């Protein structure tokens, strides 16, 4: 690797991992190493992506591997390895299959990229992020989950369509777990600063919230094999960029709570400031009782799963 460039490792060279790597390459953020248990898959995609560099005007070294030694010294590790949903499955149905993969990957990261910031994308997101935190033993601010950016982007897209404006002008906020219990927050959602409550009626806002919460499932049903990857992969790349460039972006992410929002020892989607140290701050919004109750209900759902299914704190 040429000296001076940052290294980003992407674990899992499947749909989400390759999309993330491609978005990172296009943003010229550093050298990229894709790691997959199927070595040829990672190597082949890396070669293909390297060749696209001439066409899309990016350079840097993009490599594929199945060996953790090759992620040595990575600044950021994006974890996408694991099974995606099939029609009829909830994200939680993936726990037993994906927890073993996260254990294996977490051990590799701990050994070869001990100073990295880890961004988890594997589902069920909030549970796998907690499991990654425990496996690596890293400080909680260095392990963060991707979900809120994706969920907010989904809500943003539906609002932009309903209002008839550019995606760029909509700012949406979705907190809570990345699943059926997610909490869209219309009060914190605006179009160029205008509250959406002034632009859309209550019924439209309610149905957009519902469609957002089922947004991943809608795509799983359409695809019939596998789950969404363009938006999830891009969202992970934006989080990596925030860390690598120390952008201090305020984004909803799955973060470890230690008293914030009245919850403890759980990962859940909340607004955070993301910079070179990872989660540099958790932002506590002034929520109405019903909003806080929904967020806490989402947190306690995942806390129960951590105990009952992953045997944490049992």
> Quick one: 20 or 196, whose CB is closer to ligand APR?
20
Buried b (16+ CB within 10 A) or exposed e, 181-214: bbbbbbebbbbeeeebeebbeeeebeebbeebbe
Q: Binding of ligand APR at residue 148 (CB under 6 A)?
A: no
Among positions 215-234, residues that touch ligand APR (CB under 6 A) are 226-227, 229, 232
CB of 2 to ligand APR, least distance (A): 26
CB of residue 42 vs ligand APR: minimum separation in angstroms?
8
When asked if residue 81 is in the footprint of ligand APR (CB under 6 A), the reply is yes
| Residue 74 binds ligand APR, judged by CB under 6 A | no
- Omega cis (within 30) before 74: no
Helix (H, G, I), strand (E, B) or coil at 282: strand
- Helix ranges (H only) for 32-94 are 39-56
261 interacts with ligand APR by CB under 6 A = no
- Identify whether the C-beta of residue 28 lies closer than 8 Å to the C-beta of residue 5: no
In 3D space, the residue among 279, 286, 258, 282 whose CA is nearest the CA of residue 270 turns out to be: 282
Nearer to ligand APR (CB atom), residue 9 or residue 183: 9
**Contact letters for ligand APR, residues 82-121 (x by CB under 6 A):** xxxx--------x---x--x--xx---------------x
- Whether 32 and 93 have beta carbons less than 8 Å apart is answered as no
Q: What 3-state DSSP class applies to 275?
A: strand
**Both tokens assigned to 180:** 């059926």
The pairing of strands 7-11 and 31-35 is: parallel
Q: How far is the CB of 7 from ligand APR (least distance, A)?
A: 17
Q: Would you mind telling me the total number of residues written for the chain in this entry?
A: 314
Under the binding rule (CB under 6 A), the answer on residue 80 touching ligand APR is yes
Out of 122, 189, 296, 305, point to the residue binding ligand APR (CB under 6 A): 122
- Tell which residue, 53, 47, 27, 40, has the closest CA to residue 236: 27
By the rule CB under 6 A, 149 interacts with ligand APR: no
Strand-pairing partners, residue 219, are none
Query: Count of CB atoms within 10 A of residue 36's CB?
Result: 24
Residue whose CB is less far from ligand APR, 18 or 295 = 18
Task: Compute the distance between CA of residue 86 and CA of residue 297 in angstroms, rounded to an integer.
Answer: 26
Work out how close the CB of 89 gets to ligand APR at its nearest, in angstroms, rounded to a whole number: 10
Applying CB under 6 A, does 13 fall inside the site for ligand APR? yes
**Residue 255 tokens, joined:** 């973060």
Answer for which of 12, 177, 252, 278 binds ligand APR (CB under 6 A) is 12
User: Minimal distance in Å, beta carbon 248 to ligand APR?
Assistant: 26
Q: Quick one: 212 or 227, whose CB is closer to ligand APR?
A: 227
Q: Which is closer to ligand APR, CB of 44 or CB of 226?
A: 226
Instruction: State the minimum distance, in angstroms, from the CB of residue 110 to ligand APR.
Output: 15
Cα radius of gyration rounded to whole Å, the chain: 19
What residue number has its CB nearest to ligand APR? Answer: 14
Q: Which residues form the catalytic set?
A: 178
Per CB under 6 A, residues contacting ligand APR are 11-17, 36-38, 41, 80-85, 94, 98, 101, 104-105, 121-123, 226-227, 229, 232
């Amino acid at each position: 690797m040429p000296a001076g460039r940052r290294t980003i490792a992407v674990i899992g060279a499947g749909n989400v991992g390759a999309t993330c790597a491609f978005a990172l390459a296009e943003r010229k953020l550093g050298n990229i190493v894709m790691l997959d248990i199927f070595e040829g898959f990672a190597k082949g995609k890396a070669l293909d992506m390297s060749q696209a560099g001439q066409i899309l005007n990016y350079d840097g070294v993009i490599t594929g591997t199945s060996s953790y030694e090759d992620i040595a010294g990575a600044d950021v590790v994006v974890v996408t390895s694991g099974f995606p949903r099939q029609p009829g499955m909830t994200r939680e149905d993936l726990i037993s299959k994906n927890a073993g993969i996260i254990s294996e990957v977490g051990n590799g990261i701990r050994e070869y990229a001990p100073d990295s910031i880890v961004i988890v994308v594997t589902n069920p997101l909030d549970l796998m992020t907690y499991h990654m935190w425990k496996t690596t033993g890293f400080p909680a601010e260095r392990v963060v989950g991707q979900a809120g950016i994706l969920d907010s982007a989904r809500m943003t897209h539906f609002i932009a369509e309903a209002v008839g404006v550019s995606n760029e002008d909509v700012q949406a906020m979705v907190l809570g777990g990345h699943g059926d219990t997610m909490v869209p927050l219309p009060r914190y959602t605006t179009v160029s600063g205008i509250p959406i409550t002034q632009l859309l009626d209550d019924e439209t806002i309610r149905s957009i919230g519902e469609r957002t919460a089922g947004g991943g499932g809608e795509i799983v049903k359409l695809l019939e094999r596998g789950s969404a990857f363009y938006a999830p992969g891009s969202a992970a790349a934006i989080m990596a960029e925030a860390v690598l460039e120390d952008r201090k972006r305020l984004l909803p992410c799955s973060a470890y709570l230690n008293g914030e929002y009245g919850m403890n020892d759980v990962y859940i989607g909340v607004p955070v400031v993301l910079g070179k140290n990872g989660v540099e701050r958790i932002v506590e919004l002034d929520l109405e009782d019903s909003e806080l109750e929904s967020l806490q209900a989402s947190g306690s759902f995942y806390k129960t799963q951590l105990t009952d299914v992953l045997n944490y704190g049992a």
